[in-house]
């Protein structure tokens, strides 16, 4: 699958997640990132949704479990694993996979931050 917007029912959960929770790109600061989606498959806890900003091509990711809410409870195996790794189950974490054209922010590439930190970064940029 290649990056694309998910306008219909298929893909509506991750599309609504990124559109609602990250309304401003943390790399370029645009208030119209027009996020496109792709997936990276791996072991269950490593399955990730990838989100690409249309303006600067930065790529953020979040686990499928975080996007769907499964990891936000210690009652699930994935939530328990998250808790054991030292993360808060109630917190959504996102990884900066690629900074895109915003090479001045290259120091952030590969970092995993809470959703709150991602949005604070977006507020600082723009």
pLDDT in tens, 2-53: 888 887 777 788 999 999 999 999 999 999 999 999 998 876 557 899 999 9
Report the distance separating Cα 54 and Cα 34, nearest Å. Answer: 6
Predicted confidence (pLDDT) per residue in 5-18, tens digit: 887 777 788 999 99
Tokens of 92: 């959504």
Q: What is the pTM of this model?
A: 0.84
Backbone angles phi, psi at 61, to 5 degrees: -140, 160
pLDDT tens per residue across span 56-108: 999 999 988 888 877 666 666 666 666 667 677 678 889 999 999 987 778 88
Nearest to 73 by CA among 90, 92, 91: 90
Q: Where are the domains of the chain?
A: 12-125
Asked whether the beta carbons of 35 and 48 are under 8 A apart, the reply is no
């Amino acid at each position: 699958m290649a990056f694309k917007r998910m306008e219909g029912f298929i893909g509506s959960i991750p599309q609504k997640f990124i559109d609602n929770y990250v309304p401003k790109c943390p790399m370029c600061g645009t208030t119209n990132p027009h996020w496109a989606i792709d997936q990276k498959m791996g072991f269950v806890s490593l399955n990730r949704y990838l989100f690409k900003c249309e303006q600067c091509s930065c790529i953020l990711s979040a686990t499928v479990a975080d996007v769907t809410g499964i990891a936000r409870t210690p009652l699930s195996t994935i939530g328990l694993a998250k808790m054991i790794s030292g993360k808060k189950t109630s917190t959504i974490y996102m990884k900066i996979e690629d900074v895109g054209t915003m090479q001045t922010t290259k120091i952030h590439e590969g970092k995993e931050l809470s959703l709150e930190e991602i949005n604070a970064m977006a507020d600082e940029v723009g």
